[in-house]
Amino acid sequence: MSTALANPWAGRFSETMTASLVAFNTGLPLESRLFESDIDGTHAHIEMLRSVGLLQSAEHAALARALDEIRQEWRHGDIKLQVELEDIHMNLEALLVKKVGELGKKTHTARSRNDQQATAQRIFFMRSTRELANAIDIFQRALLEHCQQYPNLVMPSYTHLQRAEFTYYAHWLATYVVMLERDHSRFIDALARADQSPLGACASTGTSLPIDRQYSAGLLGFREPTLHSIDSVSDRDYLVEFGAHAANLMIHLSRLSEEIISFTSQEFGFLVLADGYCTGSSIMPQKKNPDVPELVRGKSASVIGNAMTLMTLLKGLPLGYNKDLQEDKTAWFAALDNCMSSLGILTELVRSMKPVSEKMRLAAQGGHIIATEYANYLVNKGLPFREAHRIVGELVKLADSRQLDISRLPYTDFAAASALFTEDIRAVTVDDMVTRKNSYGSCGGQALGVLLSQLQSLLDAHQPR
């Protein structure tokens, strides 16, 4: 087999490639993931060649059969790609030649490895990015189900990591469903822009042979062919978009991870993770470590770096294909794999985690968290908010001096602070007020119910993939 294409440019060269060049030059270890996409692209290409008369029907049939056999052998692990053949494209051609002889070489009619690589990448991109969008959808559903399961557990909400206000646990967690909805839509948008076939752009300026790019694009399920042949082989914008969206996604997963790590600590104690998703310590018997969210937080650093790699890779490249582009897969696949594995395990983690309602409630009843509601009480009685803020601030100071929560001060202290405070201030409690925060998007029982059903509708509108 290797004799057929072992050195396809032998005509021009008087020396063979050095072993060091073969090792340095090959992209196979990563590129082999695109092998089946290259088979798909080749199938469409030969069918198009047949349709325009560049292949006879019998030739097409023999090549199509050989491609199917190669796919089966690949799936059974019976094919070992040869590094001497540099890339998947030369390997595929050599395998075809081995099966059907000289006819195999006709597959390279009106095609270069440049558009062949670009096509295999787009095919793989469309499939893997849809899978990623689907993994986001599944994670969102796990989060939303968890919210629906625990709709009325009161917890503090934080600003500056200081207890700020009170909310419901489901309202806190639903934030991530909303954030992930933006991530989901970004990948869907990127898919729409990438939905074009570069096949037939050839080396860079197209071909004089009578090919039909619309037909091959349609066969591959692309919306249309790419518009410009040079752009077709130079463009990796879709990977830059992917890198940026992946970084954004991982930033969101990392922020959730950070909160899960905090909330499972003994200092908070709001959440308990299932033992099966935690590790212990080799020396401290009491330890139960949240390795999963810590790793996700760590992996976000790699994915942010991958986005930077993709941008830097392109910024100085002249038009046309340049071998630098082989490096695109390093960053792209690393980002893809880290996003997929992080989403997968976080989905399991969320399905198995348990909130600790007593701890959250206790925290929501301390830290003077009701203070803003006392100020609002005065506002409802006509006082300007700034003045109300000052009066309640003084009550906080008083409570602090007695080491009490503001809600524990006797009514007489309220009455002394402002004549507008009447006995009904006692009815202003966390439990009561949390249900009443019902302006659009707020945490109150009614607003939260609306939010959760809106989120359900958004998820149900995701296209099944």
- Rounded to the nearest whole angstrom, what is the least distance from the CB of residue 64 to ligand ARG in the complex? 23
Nearer to ligand ARG, 32 or 456 (CB): 32
The answer to whether the CB of 121 falls within 8 A of the CB of 113 is no
Of residues 67, 247, 325, 443, which one binds ligand ARG by CB under 6 A? 325
Q: What is the DSSP string of 276-328?
A: GG-B--SS-TT--B-HHHHHHHHHHHHHHHHHHHHHHHHHTPPSS--GGGGGH
> Within 10 Å of residue 452's Cβ, how many Cβ atoms?
17
| Beta-strand relationship, 354-355 and 224-225 | unpaired
Give yes or no for residue 229 binding ligand ARG (CB under 6 A): no
- Rounded to the nearest whole angstrom, what is the least distance from the CB of residue 120 to ligand ARG in the complex? 9
- Rounded to the nearest whole angstrom, what is the least distance from the CB of residue 6 to ligand ARG in the complex? 16
Question: Of the ranges 291-299, 317-325, 368-376, 410-418, which one interacts with ligand ARG (CB under 6 A)?
Answer: 317-325
Helix, strand or coil, per DSSP, at residue 154: strand
Nearer to ligand ARG, 230 or 450 (CB): 230
Nearer to ligand ARG, 81 or 144 (CB): 81
Pick the catalytic residue from 2, 265, 281, 453: 281
- Rounded to the nearest whole angstrom, what is the least distance from the CB of residue 338 to ligand ARG in the complex? 21
Tell the residue number behind the tokens 């080749």, with chain if given: 42
The answer to whether the CB of 168 falls within 8 A of the CB of 155 is yes
Range 55-114, binding ligand ARG (CB under 6 A): 87, 113-114
Question: Of the ranges 45-53, 262-270, 318-326, 415-423, which one interacts with ligand ARG (CB under 6 A)?
Answer: 318-326
Closest CA relative to residue 36, chosen from 109, 91, 97, 104: 91
Tell the residue number behind the tokens 């007695």, with chain if given: 402
Closest CA relative to residue 177, chosen from 139, 134, 150: 139
- Rounded to the nearest whole angstrom, what is the least distance from the CB of residue 119 to ligand ARG in the complex? 11
Rounded to whole angstroms, how far apart are CA atoms 311 and 423? 63
Nearer to ligand ARG, 173 or 331 (CB): 331
Q: Which two tokens stand for residue 293?
A: 């969210």
* Number of residues this chain uses to bind ligand ARG (CB under 6 A): 10
Question: Of the ranges 294-302, 323-331, 446-454, 456-464, which one interacts with ligand ARG (CB under 6 A)?
Answer: 323-331
Is 418 a catalytic site residue? Answer: no
Question: Of the ranges 99-107, 217-225, 319-327, 443-451, which one interacts with ligand ARG (CB under 6 A)?
Answer: 319-327
- β-pair partners for 272: 354
Nearer to ligand ARG, 238 or 321 (CB): 321
Give yes or no for residue 321 binding ligand ARG (CB under 6 A): yes
Rounded to whole angstroms, how far apart are CA atoms 47 and 41? 10
Nearer to ligand ARG, 31 or 183 (CB): 31
Pick the catalytic residue from 57, 160, 208, 282: 160
First to last CA, the chain: 39
- Rounded to the nearest whole angstrom, what is the least distance from the CB of residue 12 to ligand ARG in the complex? 14
Tell the residue number behind the tokens 């690949």, with chain if given: 74
- CA-angle at 441, arms to 438 and 447, nearest 5°: 40
Nearer to ligand ARG, 91 or 342 (CB): 91
> Within 10 Å of residue 158's Cβ, how many Cβ atoms?
16
Question: Of the ranges 174-182, 322-330, 389-397, 449-457, which one interacts with ligand ARG (CB under 6 A)?
Answer: 322-330
The answer to whether the CB of 190 falls within 8 A of the CB of 244 is no
The answer to whether the CB of 205 falls within 8 A of the CB of 37 is no
CA atoms within 13 Å, Cβ hemisphere of 163: 20
Range 7-46, binding ligand ARG (CB under 6 A): 27, 31
The dihedral of CA 409, 412, 414, 417: what is its sign?
A: negative
- Rounded to the nearest whole angstrom, what is the least distance from the CB of residue 205 to ligand ARG in the complex? 14
Amino acid at 366: G
Rounded to whole angstroms, how far apart are CA atoms 360 and 58? 73
- Rounded to the nearest whole angstrom, what is the least distance from the CB of residue 250 to ligand ARG in the complex? 25
Is 160 a catalytic site residue? Answer: yes
Nearer to ligand ARG, 31 or 235 (CB): 31
The answer to whether the CB of 139 falls within 8 A of the CB of 341 is no
Helix, strand or coil, per DSSP, at residue 165: strand
Nearer to ligand ARG, 39 or 135 (CB): 39
Closest CA relative to residue 34, chosen from 325, 297, 435: 325
Angle between helices 113-149 and 88-100 (to 10 degrees): 110
- Rounded to the nearest whole angstrom, what is the least distance from the CB of residue 19 to ligand ARG in the complex? 18
Give yes or no for residue 5 binding ligand ARG (CB under 6 A): no
Residues lying near ligand ARG in the complex (CB under 6 A) = 27, 31, 87, 113-114, 117, 321, 323, 325-326
- Enzyme catalytic residues: 160, 281
